[in-house]
Amino acid sequence: MQIAYRYHAHNQASRSVSGIVYAEDTDAAYAKLKRAGLRVARLRFDPIGTLNGISGKFDIRELVRFYRTMGKRLEVGKPMISGMEAAISFTTDPLLINALRLMQQRLMDGAKIADAMHAAGFEERDLNVIRAADATGKQGQAFVRLADDVARAERLRQAISSTFLPMKVLAVVGVVGMYAAMGWMSPTMIRFFAQWSNGQVVHLPPSIVLYNQIALWVTTHKIVAGVLMLGILMLGNAVLKSPLVRKLADYWQNWRMISEKSDHSSAWTSFSLLYDAGGISAYESAAVVRKSCARLDSQDMFHRMDKILRLGVPISVAVSRAGFPHYVVNGVKSAEEGGASLAEGLLSMVADLEQDVEVMTDILKIKITYASQVFGALIVSGFFYVTLYPMYIQIGQKL
């Protein structure tokens, strides 16, 4: 979680500056401000700023707009520093505003763009792309391509995330509905039928008896039960995001291919950006990309590729020896043998991977839709069993 701290400091020109910095703790905040070339005079916790930046990540749409605007500005020969104030004024994301102000401060102190981005806390991949492009004068083009890649990756992430949205909604509705049934509906019915039966023994299934006992406890401890229900939802979300569940999910072939190809799509886009920018070798590009991979097997592949490339072999050979999937090996080989540049060939491979992910995601959505219908039917059946079914039993026994 990113915590907001309001600071007062002095820059390298001994001018007083103030603002908000986001960091994990006070030590990280001091280190971040030091990287920005500031000498901190006072630092204090800012609760409002912490709430505003609770997501901990830059707003993707605003980050894309910043990258694209700065890229076009550099392409026409305008200095970046003169456009920073305008970029800040058009930004509403507090985390990005903080980063841009720190970046602006470093640029004013004479730092290079990549070094200023590093001080501001931008992604290592992004600042390495800009640093590599600095040697060839392609920083404007690099910013524009970064904007395209960040936007593409976000579209892909949202498409995959939306696939499981119906199941998530049903899970929340089920838990909240169970809480409402236990806390209000079931106790009322229990009291009504207790009076209606006039003390006669009613024979109910053991599962319903246990449910009624829990419902009576929930009725007398609504706040505690509500906290427990919320805890169940949070625990379920944490379990679904755990490494163990992700590892088990790989046994589902459809999901594994979506996860694997989307990760390689992002990784090879990053590799092509770094390689095309110039000023950075192929093995250095592989080392940088490895850190941004979401899957452990992808990280291992790029790590092996880094070591193999240091032996001086072609990229296609290194990819084959590093154990990449056949579609990556074939794509890199085609890119290396094609008439266009390697970077353009890799982007063509990435476009094919994106199309595959989109098709597989659509297929997965159909399966999830069917599963959601079954899950919803089970939820309705469960409510019927613990609420209306006991009523039919008691009416039958009464008659």
| Residue 152 in domain | no
pLDDT tens track for 258-279: 889 988 988 888 888 888 776 6
Please identify which residue in the block is written with the tokens 């991977």.
353
pLDDT number for residue 118:
86
Q: Are 266 and 240 in contact (CB under 8 A)?
A: no
**Residue 194 — very low, low, confident or very high, per pLDDT cuts 50/70/90?**
low
pLDDT tens track for 332-368: 998 888 766 788 888 889 889 888 988 888 888 888 8
Q: What is the mean pLDDT of residues 371-394?
A: 81
- How many other β-carbons are positioned within 10 Å of the β-carbon of residue 171? 18
Give one DSSP letter per residue of 379-394, joined into a string: HHHHHIIIIIHHHHHH
| Residue 355 in domain | no
Lowest mean pLDDT among 32-41, 80-89, 103-112: 32-41
Cross-strand pairs, 102: none
Confidence check: pLDDT of 245 > 60: yes
Q: How far is CA 323 from CA 57, 169, 247, 264, 277, in A?
A: 33, 39, 19, 13, 26
Q: Are 73 and 87 in contact (CB under 8 A)?
A: no
| Residue 113 in domain | no
| Residue 219 in domain | yes
Q: Are 68 and 143 in contact (CB under 8 A)?
A: yes
One-letter amino acid at 335 equals A
E strand or H helix that includes residue 39? strand 39-45
Burial class (CB in 10 A: 0-12, 13-18, 19+), 207: exposed
pLDDT number for residue 1:
65
Sign (positive/negative) of CA torsion 21, 91, 74, 341?
A: positive
Q: Which domain holds residue 170?
A: 165-241
pLDDT tens track for 136-191: 778 888 888 889 888 888 887 887 778 878 888 888 888 888 888 888 877 777 77
Confidence check: pLDDT of 199 > 60: no
d(CA 129, CA 274): 5
pLDDT number for residue 46:
78
Q: Which two tokens stand for residue 4?
A: 């907001």
| Residue 197 in domain | yes
| Residue 217 in domain | yes
| Residue 225 in domain | yes
Q: What is the number of structural domains in the chain?
A: 1
DSSP conformational letter for 387: I
Q: Which two tokens stand for residue 174?
A: 């089920």
Q: Which two tokens stand for residue 339?
A: 């008439």
Bridge-based pairing of strands 16-23 and 39-45 is unpaired
